[in-house]
Amino acid sequence: MNGAWNEEAAVGALGYIGIGVSSPEKWADFSALLGLMPGEPGPDGSIRYRMDECAWRIALHADDIDDCLYAGFDCGTQARFEAVLARIAKAGIAATRDEDLARVRGVMKLARLTDPDGVPLELYYGPRVVPEQPFRSPQPLSRFMTGANGLGHVIVNADDPAASAAFYRDVLGLSLSDRILFEAAPGVVIPLTFLHCNERHHSIAIAPRMPDSKRVHHLMLEVPGIDDVGFALDRVMAAGLEISATLGRHSNDRMISFYVRTPSGFEVEYGCEGLAVDRATWTVADHASISVWGHRRERI
């Protein structure tokens, strides 16, 4: 997928994510199974992992929260960064520029804010890249599907899904891809809203929060092909990890994927063949089912 920044005052990609973990040792083994490459430790003591030529994409922080601590959205250029901040200010929302945090994250400029559910967000441009240190996965994996489309997608559990979707759409400038109106039980419909900011079908999706759920339901990592998915599935099954959803193909983004439970309790979706959004021709739709086939679950 070779995405390109759109020209609007909108964020361009999910660039990185920080996770608080109670067991860094278990996460080290888990990350290796996924094919993530260890990066240089962060100046804040975080354990960082690479997926491409960026110095890092995923940071682990020792924290018993076992959940997302922050998500970083890349604005691509200084002009886009300033335009997004102006859009946020026009909406009456506070965003704080933070030079110290920019140095910690290894980006040129950074501003921080929170979404309606209290998820800390970081907007930035100019991430550090290290092409002189090529990405080398600890697994037989050539690469992840990243580039201008970012590291993947994240699904956020929201107390007020409508308010959260409006924030990401109207304030950060993402566009609606589609919805899934999933009937979890007779008469019980769970609405899922999917939003994109580049060619990736969605960089974020909004789900209603379930009792005792975390900020994030899952993080998606995309690989080039079905064999990469199959090899990863074999690895995590051999390690005795919980497959929270079996191999399947989603109805909306057509991703072929499986879901595995992380050591922190939320999930990672590992997939391939996700749809690319052509912003000039894309039309939105409602889907009645999460998957065309597969993705069998014992719990949501």
Average pLDDT, the chain: 95
Read off φ and ψ for residue 88, nearest 5 degrees. Answer: -65, -45
- Binned at pLDDT 50, 70 and 90, residue 114 comes out as very high
Strands 216-222 and 256-261: unpaired
pTM reported for the whole predicted model: 0.95
Which CATH number is correct for 13-127, 3.20.20.70, 3.10.180.10, 3.40.50.300, 3.40.50.720? 3.10.180.10
Predicted local distance difference test score (pLDDT) of residue 1? 39
- Binned at pLDDT 50, 70 and 90, residue 300 comes out as low
Predicted local distance difference test score (pLDDT) of residue 210? 87
Q: What is the DSSP letter of 31?
A: H
Does the pLDDT of residue 284 top 80, yes or no?
A: yes
Over residues 168-178, mean pLDDT? 97
Question: What digits encode the pLDDT tens for the residues 203-253?
Answer: 999 999 988 899 999 999 999 999 999 999 999 999 999 999 999 999 999
Comma-separated ranges of CATH 3.10.180.10 domains in the chain: 13-127, 147-294
Q: What does the alpha-carbon distance between residue 22 and residue 203 come to, in Å, rounded to a whole number? A: 26
Over residues 161-180, mean pLDDT? 97
**Which residues, 6+ apart, have CB-to-CB distance to 77 below 8 Å?**
5, 125
Q: CATH classification of 147-294 is 3.40.50.1240, yes or no?
A: no
Q: What does the alpha-carbon distance between residue 52 and residue 129 come to, in Å, rounded to a whole number? A: 9
Strands 153-158 and 175-185: unpaired
